[in-house]
Structure 1
Amino acid sequence: MRISKYIADTGYCSRREADKLLSERRVTVNGTPASVGTLFNEGDDVRVDGQTLQVRAKKAGRKHVYIAYNKPVGVTCTTESAIKGNIVDAIGHERRIFPIGRLDKDSEGLILLTSNGDIVNEILRYENGHEKEYLVGVNHEISPEFLTGMARGVIVHDQMTKPCRTSRLNKFAFRIILKQGLNRQIRLMAAAFGYRVKQLVRVRIDNIKLGHLKLGQWRNLTDVELKGLIPGRTEW
């Protein structure tokens, strides 16, 4: 396989990011700088900035893949291969996976993906009460009235948004926790008060946190995270 696919399979970064690392001559194979066309053979010693990479072992007993991905700005949450910068190509996973929900192209942060289509609707249903937490930077100073108004609800797409929780982070940033996911919801909510979102990062989906996962990297969900996401489910 190509060395970029091997790097992506380790979970270190996406294929696109791997190609960038290769072009910057930061990858070595058996001590020799690698290029985009370099092939990986079993037993090769692959390093990025001197750090040895190893493919992550698959979770025993699981039929499907469940991963957390730190999506960069510019990646589109679609499986359409014709769309440049689609999330499937960005991750480069060996299994056929698709996103659970969406995170718009101009936003970054945590998104979950899986190969299990049967579970998607179960996770997305509003009545399941899954929280989604975001850190948001805007172009005007945060006011108490703005936070209160956002928390109470705003008309978006001809419907009132559900009550949510908000808090001030600093002069131009706030935290918001939602239990629904309308298209571009936070941006449209903020716009209703005359604010423009400059940066939007999702840092948590229910019990699953972005943590120290680097931008462009992914990891497998743990058993504890899966059980917390859908309590009572025993087959994955």
Structure 2
Amino acid sequence: MHIQTFLAKSGVYSRRETARLIDDHRVTINGIVCSRQSIVSDSDTVHVDSLPVPDPAERVYLAFHKPEGITCTAQQSVEGNLNDFLKWESRIFSVGRLDKASTGLLILTNDGSIVNPLMKEEEAKEKEYIIETSRPVSETMIKKMCEGGLLIKGKKASPALAEKTGDVTFRIILKQGLNRQIRRMCRAFDNHVVSLKRIRISHIQLHTLEPGEWRHLTEEEIRQLKYEMLDKS
């Protein structure tokens, strides 16, 4: 298999990280510095920074209710990272992100080989949020979110499904994933997000998970997650 796939299957590195390690000449196969095109066989010895790559960890796929203040990264150098919070025995990655101030559903896995493909596929998945704002939610704002076309850092927001649920609350379903999209759309109407919680990604629901709690995905949830990824690859 390709060296990037081999490294990602260890559960220690994501594909993005493996590319950086290889480009920095930190990966060797049988003592020889490798390239992204290198192939690994069962008889080969692979080292990163002169240390052997660990055996693959048992695969886990989790639904996690991210609390406010946690940063969606596995990098140990970042304060409030996912690994420090969860204290998982193997390195764990988030599929997609929520900003530090937002809460709600994250899909987590230690299967580095599927993180990037799932992140690409996540752009086409429905993601559902409930929002509280600092000022009353206007019908004009909801209408424009449904129509699409708002400029978010030079890119047009796609049409969304949005509905007002209270004087200062609304619900929205997005497929697009522009940076801080909901917050920026609200600011376009001189309104500001007080709280933002994601309650669904495609077929996976947050349900009754409290902030900081997690659960294993069911076999059916994992099967459908991987099927959707392969179906669109």
Residue aligning to 1:75: 70
Measure the CA separation in 2 of the matches of 1:72 and 1:136: 15
Distance 1:200 1:72 in 2: 11
After TM superposition, give the deviation of residue 206 of structure 1 in Å: 0.5
C-alpha distance in 2 between matches for 1:99 and 1:207 = 17
For residue 144 of structure 1, the aligned residue among 139, 143, 149 is 139
Distance 1:178 1:67 in 2: 22
Residue 131 of structure 2 contacts residue 195 of structure 2 at CA under 8 Å; is this kept in 1? yes
Q: Size of the alignment, in residue pairs?
A: 173
1:33-81 deviation line (CA, Å, top 9, x unaligned): xxxxxxxxxxxxxxxxxxxxxxxxxxxxx95211111010001111121
| Aligned-partner SS, 2:227 | coil
8 A contact 1:76–1:85 mirrored in 2: yes
* Letter of the 2:127 counterpart: K
SS in 2 for 1:121: helix
Give the 3 Å change call, closer, same or farther, for CA 75–128 of structure 1 in structure 2: closer
Aligned letter for 1:125?
A: K
Whether the aligned pair in 2 keeps the contact of 1:130 and 1:206 (CA below 8 Å) is: yes
Residue 178 of structure 1 corresponds to which residue in structure 2?
Answer: 174
- When structure 1 is superposed on structure 2, of 116-125 and 171-180 the one drifting more is 116-125
2:108 aligned partner, one-letter code: L
- What TM-score does the superposition give when structure 1 sets the normalisation length? 0.69
- The answer as to whether partners of 1:167 and 1:174 remain within 8 angstroms in 2 is yes
Q: CA RMSD in A?
A: 2.0
Structure 1 residue 167 corresponds to structure 2 residue 163: yes
Cα distance in 2, alignment partners of residues 127 and 99 from structure 1: 11
Shift of 1:139: 1.1
2:51 alignment partner in structure 1: none
CA contact (8 A) 2:62 2:108 kept: yes
Moved more, 90-99 or 223-232: 223-232
> 1:117 and 1:216 mapped to 2: Cα distance?
22
Q: How does 1:31-180 map to 2 (within 5 A)?
A: 64-125=59-120, 129-153=124-148, 154-180=150-176
Give the corresponding residue for 1:44. Answer: none
Q: CA deviation at 1:157?
A: 1.7
What percentage of aligned pairs have identical amino acids? Answer: 41
Equivalent residue of 2:140, what SS?
Answer: helix
Q: Residue type of the partner of 1:140?
A: R
One-letter code aligned to 1:122: P
TM-score, length basis structure 2: 0.69
Taking a change above 3 Å as real, the CA distance of residues 171 and 233 of structure 1, as seen in their structure-2 partners, is closer
1:120, CA displacement in angstroms?
2.1
Partner of 1:15: none
Q: CA deviation at 1:127?
A: 8.1
Aligned to 2:178, the other structure's residue is in SS state coil
